[in-house]
Structure 1
Amino acid sequence: MIIIGIAGGSGAGKTTVARTVAERLGEENVVYISQDWYYKDRSHLSLEEREKLNLDHPNAFDSKLLIAHLKQLRQGHPIEVPHYNFSTQSRTTKTMHLEPKSVAILEGILVLAITEVRSLIDFKIFVDAEPDIRLIRRIERDIRERNSTYEKTVKRYLTTVKPMHDAFIEPSKIFADIIVPRGGENEIATDMLAEFVEHYTVHHSGGTTTNNENNLAETQ
């Protein structure tokens, strides 16, 4: 199994890039994993305390569990991924069953910044976007999907999101094999990236290809 890591700031367009790559490879061949699912369980804290948590620091994630799951998938074993509720800032009792596929796409703000996670990634991508664009997308998403308000989102951005981006996310760009500028809206770069990943996957599959990969190999 090949692991593709897609990192970048909050609101950069990582999910759009991940979706494009998955569609190109064939979703039947790809298992998608979000780093957001692996926030540590802080349900023992009060809601007020949870709302003050710094969710943009590497220590916010249960990287030990994420690493264990990536290794299980690589060994051909299914996993049960956790579910994190951003409205309550806590992990729920729900899990999602994921089967191993020929390709795993791991997407998250800090997948290249955490050494132990990065070491498991075969192909590293960093999605870049202007800060003002990322902020606008963050505000829209948090209000729409995470039960936040404009005031709470801006405060979180200024106190944790931006400082952590500058301290951890932006520096992790150096580890990327490919950088996608202007985020997910850069259709030309995203399409070229998807095509490159397609060929990379075929040539690094160790001789084991899916039907989709065989079709790709025949066209080369």
Structure 2
Amino acid sequence: MFIVGIIGLSCSGKTTLGEVLSEKLGKEKCLLMSLDDYYNELTEEQYKILHDDQAAINFDCPEAINYELLNHHLISIRDKIEINIPKFDLGSCVVTNFLKVSPGQYEYIILEGCFLFCNQKLRSLFDLTIWVETSEYICALRRFIKYTKDIEGYNPQYVYNQCVKHVIPGQEKYIKPFRFECDVIYNGEKSDPALVDMLNYLIIKKNDKI
């Protein structure tokens, strides 16, 4: 089992790169996972203010992630133990579905997320790490479009306050410091088939040596 970690700023293109690599490696052999699916469940009080324009709930910190469950799932998949991966809805902030993963079903795992390096145990599980390099301005624009257009419950004022209060400070503290600790830096602003082919080749070759 070969585990790839894709890290970068919010809306830098992590999911897109993961999907492209999954296609290259073969979807039947590759499990694409997102750190977003491992957000901790909100309390009853938090649900009451979930979409308040003041954006009081901080989703942009390691404390918001259930690393214990994620680590358990990755180790279980590696050890060929059946699991059910949660599918977390970013709009309602509830788990809406589960993906059953059978033992030995996949050869590769691609896990993407902003805070992958904030948990030492999780970091130790990666065989290859990729940083998606994208301008902060482009990331902010992509995030604004995504959260106001594609995710129910978010309005422009909420998205703005969330970025100012939590997203930008969280990036500075928990994400950007790990840029140069990644094995590969990938351009998230422009698709580069040659670099994708190189990553695909690198993953296959490193997997052969394990």
TM (norm. structure 1) is: 0.85
CA change 1:77–1:129 in 2 (3 A) is same
- Which residue number corresponds to residue 106 of structure 2? 101
| 1:113–1:171 Cα change, 3 Å | same
Hey, what's the Cα distance between the residues in 2 that align with 1:32 and 1:46? 29
* Secondary structure of the structure 2 residue equivalent to 1:50: coil
Residues 72 and 160 of structure 1: is their aligned pair in 2 closer, same or farther, counting only changes over 3 Å?
Answer: same
With over 3 angstroms needed to count, the CA separation of the structure-2 counterparts of 1:135 and 1:7, relative to structure 1, is same
**Pair 1:153–1:186, CA change in 2 (3 A):** farther
The aligned amino acid for 1:73 is I
Distance 1:145 1:38 in 2: 20
Q: Tell me the number of residue pairs that the alignment of Structure 1 and Structure 2 aligns.
A: 203
Q: Is 1:111–2:116 an aligned residue pair?
A: yes
Deviations 1:100-144 (A, max 9, x none): 411111111111232121111111111110001001110111122
Question: Which position in structure 1 is the counterpart of 2:75?
Answer: 71
| Amino acid in structure 1 at the alignment position of 2:207 | T
CA 1:12 to 1:93, structure 2 compared with 1: closer, same or farther past 3 Å?
Answer: closer
Amino acid at match of 2:15: T
- Which 5+ residue runs of structure 1 have no aligned equivalent? 205-220
Q: Say which SS state the counterpart of residue 28 (structure 2) adopts.
A: helix
SS state at 1:77 partner: coil
Aligned: 1:157 with 2:160:
no
Does residue 123 of the first structure (1) align with residue 140 of the second (2)? no
Correspondence for 2:61: 57
**Offset at residue 187 of structure 1 (A):** 4.0
Cα displacement string for residues 171-195 of structure 1 (whole angstroms, at most 9, x for unaligned residues): 1213211111344634443332223
Could you tell me how far 1:33 is from its partner in structure 2? 1.0
Q: Are the aligned partners of 2:89 and 2:96 in contact in 1 as well (CA < 8 Å)?
A: no
User: Percent of counterpart pairs with the same letter?
Assistant: 26
The alpha-carbon deviation at position 94 of structure 1 amounts to: 3.1
Counterpart amino acid of residue 99 in structure 2: M
Match of 2:114, SS? coil
Change (3 A) 1:74 1:68: same
* Alignment CA distance shift 1:22-1:94 (3 Å): closer
Asked if 1:202 is matched to 2:177, the reply is no
Using the TM superposition, give the Cα deviation of residue 151 of structure 1 relative to its aligned residue in structure 2, in angstroms: 1.8
Contact 1:6–1:126, Cα closer than 8 Å, also in 2: yes
SS in 2 for 1:171: helix
Query: What RMSD, in angstroms, separates the aligned Cα atoms of the two structures?
Result: 1.8
Aligned mates of 1:13, 1:82 — CA distance in 2: 22
| 1:202 shift after superposition | 2.8
TM-score w.r.t. structure 2 length? 0.89
2:124 partner amino acid? S
